[in-house]
Amino acid sequence: MTPSPREPPPVLGGGTGRAFHADGGEPLHLRLARSALCPDGLTSPEAVEAWLAEARDGDRMTVRPAPLSELPGWNVDPRTGDLTHVSGAFFTVHGLAVEHRDAPVPRREQPIIDQPEIGILGLLVRAFDGVPHCLVQTKAEPGNVGGVQIAPTVQATRSNYTRVHRGRPVPYLEHFRTPSRGRLLVDVRQSEHGAWFLRKRNRNMVVETREDIELLPGFRWLTLHRLHRLLDRDDLVNMDLRSVLGCLPVAGPGAAAALAPTGGFQDALARSLDASPGLHADADLLHWITERRTRTDVRVHRVPLSGMAGWRHDGTTVTPEDGRSFEVAGVTVGTAGREVDDWSQPVVRPLGTSVAAFLVKRIDGVLHLLAQALAEPGCSDVLELAPTVQCVPHDLDGGPPQVRPPFLDDVLAAGPDRVRFAATLSEEGGRLYHARGRYLIVEAAPGDGGPDEGPEESPDFRWLTLRQFAALLPHSHYVNVQARSLLACLYSLPGR
């Protein structure tokens, strides 16, 4: 069907290539909606529980603290204190000076993980009885709370998959290294935490295959519905899988009807995924992002890990003198069933649980999310769109009230009538140790002017629809990892 010439022009892009037309006619987002509403599928709820129990029983990973100066395979530079792997691969921990003219603290120093390699977070999709299923695995990481979590099909750094550590090959990697075997749905470099990583990016990839795939131990095919039912269990669906789920192209015309909403919030959510116009035109949102990126003056430069103002590097750990933010520590890991059996490494251990919360509001019956343009030291391009609230309350305790982020107290105080999603979820456990966040989706309290009233926008905040987020997600550097996690959580709400 040819679009009408009276349709407004595409601004965040539009139209698609022929591959979608050649594929039996049904658009991808409608097939994904079917997967999101499909309670059955290859793996029943009972089979999921048995699979998780088996993985936990089989988990042999042991993690013991070790002084940074005594990690086999790692060097502490005698001059700078920087931590590097003897192979030159994996990652480095060094210091970073951050100058942000308009921030409450204009200049500060901190450790940062420098991992220039781009890894692959790959999700393999296959339709069974017409319903797309995702191939996921149980995976233990040294920093995980609870040991085993649910991970995407492939989760591999470049050092992993080029086998720098001479370990076992990564299962199913060939589907992402030679994706012409399947149909490429998503391939975008997305950032990870800009507070801890310097310009780290991983490829978030989704490939649909029609091949018969051997199911290796530890792997299962789950519908989106089944995955969504696991998302709000604490520390279960890992960050890498949430990030990829957040990048799935689930928005598009017809989404509202396909999701069979049941009124109220569900209606507004479904319409937000559809082609409904938002409060702001797409061009105005891109202008806002360009304007914030142009006006924000953040400069970073590398400094030695030893001798940073406010930090103590004693060879065992690198610790903040004020007891806030995070420390750098060492761990020795023993395991069976991994690419290599034993290793040691530095980790970043946050000293508090973070909060990541989107305020959402129905505007003209369409759900909008209040996005924050947030500059973090590790951002590749000045800033990205973050949740309405993203901070570590522990780091604020006893601090001056003016650095308390807007909306923090509101989302923490919200009652169950406003909270649409709440779970404590783990950040990635390969570099971070017991890093957890309280993930919340909270409806804005109605203002005096009626249900459409609510918090006003300020220069760093704008209301976006889910379709507008989805239109930014095929491109790098727009939506940060906490926001992608929360999008995955929002996508899990239809059908509840």
As measured in angstroms, the least distance from the Cβ of 200 to its own copies is 13
Q: Which is nearer to its own copies, 258 or 303 (by Cβ)?
A: 258
Cα–Cα distance between 328 and 339 in angstroms, integer?
Answer: 24
SS (H, E, C) the chain: CCCCCCCCCCCCCCCCCHHHHCCCCCCHHHHHHHHHCCCCCCCCHHHHHHHHHHHHHHCCCEEEEECHHHCCCEEECCCCCCEEECCCCCCEEEEEEEEECCCCCCEEEEEEEECCCCEEEEEEEEEECCEEEEEEEEEECCCCCCCEEEEECEEECHHHHCCCCCCCCCCCCHHHHCHHHCEEEEEEEEECCCCCECCCEEEEEEEECCCCCCCCCCEEEEEHHHHHHHHCCCCCECHHHHHHHHHCCCCCCCHHHHCCCCCCHHHHHHHHHCCCCCCCCHHHHHHHHHHHHHHCCEEEEEECCCCCCCEEECCCCEEECCCCCEEEEEEEEECCCCCCCEEEEEEEEECCCEEEEEEEEEECCEEEEEEEEECCCCCCCCCEEECCEEECHHHHCCCCHHHCCCCHHHHHHCCCCCEEEEEEEECCCCCECCCEEEEEEEECCCECCECCCCCCCCCCEEEEEHHHHHHHCCCCCCECHHHHHHHHHHHCCCCC
Could you tell me the sign of the dihedral formed by the alpha carbons of 39, 40, 43, 49, in that order? positive
Minimum gap (Å) between residue 225 Cβ and its own copies: 19
Nearer to its own copies, 207 or 355 (CB): 207
Rounded least distance, CB 209 to its own copies, Å: 15
Give whole-number Cα distances, 227 to 205, 370, 455, 466, 489, in Å. Answer: 17, 25, 32, 20, 10
Binding site for its own copies (CB under 8 A): 1-21, 25, 27-30, 118, 179, 184-189, 203, 249, 251-254, 257-258, 275, 277-287, 290-291, 293-294, 380-381, 467-468, 470-472, 474-476
Cβ distance to its own copies smaller for residue 253 or 446? 253
Please report how close the Cβ of residue 246 comes to its own copies at its closest, in angstroms: 16
Q: In terms of CB distance, is 189 or 324 closer to its own copies?
A: 189
User: Looking at beta carbons only, is 21 or 56 nearer to its own copies?
Assistant: 21
Q: Which is nearer to its own copies, 235 or 274 (CB)?
A: 274
The least distance separating its own copies from the CB of residue 183, rounded to whole angstroms, comes to 8
Q: How far is the CB of 362 from its own copies (least distance, A)?
A: 15
CB of 496 to its own copies, least distance (A): 23
What is the chain's Cα-based Rg? 22
Residues 248, 484: contact at Cβ < 8 Å?
no
Nearer residue to its own copies within complex by CB, 30 or 47:
30
Q: How near is the Cβ of 329 to its own copies at its closest, in Å?
A: 30
Residue 148: phi and psi, rounded to 5, are: -95, 135
Tell me the CA distances in angstroms from 29 to 131, 248, 254, 258, one per residue in order.
Answer: 12, 8, 9, 9
Residue 249 CB, nearest approach to its own copies (Å): 6
Shortest distance in whole angstroms from residue 410 CB to its own copies: 26
CB of 282 to its own copies, least distance (A): 5
In the complex, minimum distance from the CB of residue 114 to its own copies, in angstroms, rounded to a whole number = 13
